Structure 1
Amino acid sequence: MTGTKTAPFAGRLIQTAFTTADIRETMREMTARLGIGPWFLRERGVFRNQVYRGQPATTALAIAMGYAGDMQFEIIQQLDDSPSVYREAAERSGHGLHHFGVAWTDYDAALAHYRSLGFTLAYSAEVANGARVAYFDTHGTLPAMVEAIELLPATEAMFGRFQAAARGWDGSDPVRPLA
């Protein structure tokens, strides 16, 4: 890649995320073929303060997270018909790679950074442990959206527990429910 400059960057790539029509089948396949696991599954959740393309949203999701090495993998299944970043991507190109999750300790700096690159804020919400996330539409530039994840101490601890469970995992108890 000639002529490509690295942008000033304070985030850390920690996640690769996918959408699916069947979260349990996708977990099984990714475990069997890629060794990802165990999975931590929230069967149904509606995040607080969702905003999709400038409008309030109430999208219901099933979400699973698991690790292979240092990379976190996330699988998302939308459970309703509401407009969302998940539905728009699936309608555009089918289920599969959806976003890259980048952890930031300074959420406002993350928003400013991606906006300075010309990316449009497509979705934001408050997720587990009160952390905020923001998805930026990178269509035409990157092969998936970018999610800025606010890395609060509680969020980092949760991810650390998930990753620790993956180290030396023997394949037992492959799906672990989350409240």
Structure 2
Amino acid sequence: MANELGYGQPMEGVAQTAFIVPDLQQAIAEWVRDMRAGPFFVLPSLLAPGQVYRGEESRADITLAMGFAGHMLIELIQPLDDNPSVYRETRQLRGYGFHHVGIACADVDASSRKYQARGYHEAYRAVVPTGGEVVYLDNGSGAARGFIELLPVTPAMDETFTRFWEASRDWDGSDPVRPFG
């Protein structure tokens, strides 16, 4: 596997920054207008099967958008319900805003074990549409500091995120909201 993703971020390094937002369309408009990020690719619902939150089954549904600011992938997440989840936990503790950094991993389970050996705990696990499972970790501070999300670098993930990045290069601001698929 290459040492970096197709959009230039390093393996085992920060590949994404994510924020919880109350209104996805409004958040996209603000990121496009104020930070010149985009375009954003929207997944209308992600009710992943087999979610596990703090050791218990979870059924949290979210809508999300991904877009780029330079080489940094920005993820905007709007919770669609109030089921127990890392999203609800963050909102209850400190409201909307920063949620996690995503770390690109060749092997999520092996990376999770390394973080756990350093005192981190698995807070959430779920299947993602680009293949594999993501794992959210915290070191006891949980949502107070933000989570680390271990991202499975699959061919579909790298192709999808690289496609989003390529769309952002020389983007003229038109068509700021696009379908994920």
Find the aligned partners of 1:123 and 1:157 in 2 and give their Cα distance. Answer: 25
CA distance in 2, matches of 1:119, 1:95: 23
The answer to whether the 8 Å contact 2:19/2:100 transfers is yes
Q: How many residues end up aligned between the 2 structures?
A: 170
1:79-128 CA distance string (max 9 Å, x none): 01201100101110010000000010122221112101211100000101
Which runs of structure 2 are paired with 1:1-179 in the superposition (5 Å)?
A: 11-138=12-139, 140=141, 143-178=145-180
The secondary structure found in structure 1 opposite 2:130 is helix
Q: Return the alpha-carbon distance in structure 2 between the equivalents of residues 84 and 145 of structure 1.
A: 12
Shift of 1:139: 5.1
Cα contact 1:131–1:155 (8 A) shared by 2: no
Normalised TM-score (structure 2): 0.89
Residues 40 and 176 of structure 2 are in contact (CA less than 8 Å); yes or no, is this contact kept in structure 1?
yes
Name the CA distance, whole Å, in 2 between partners of 1:29 and 1:61: 19
Please, which runs of 5 or more residues in structure 1 have no aligned partner?
1-9
Give the Å deviation of 1:166: 0.4
Percent identity between the aligned chains? Answer: 40
Letter in 2 for 1:135: Y
Aligned equivalents of 2:24, 2:140: Cα separation in 1? 24
Unaligned runs of 5+ in 2: 1-10
With the length of structure 1 as denominator, give the TM-score of the two structures: 0.90
Q: Moved runs in structure 1, 4+ residues, more than 2 A?
A: 138-143
CA distance in 2, matches of 1:15, 1:127: 15
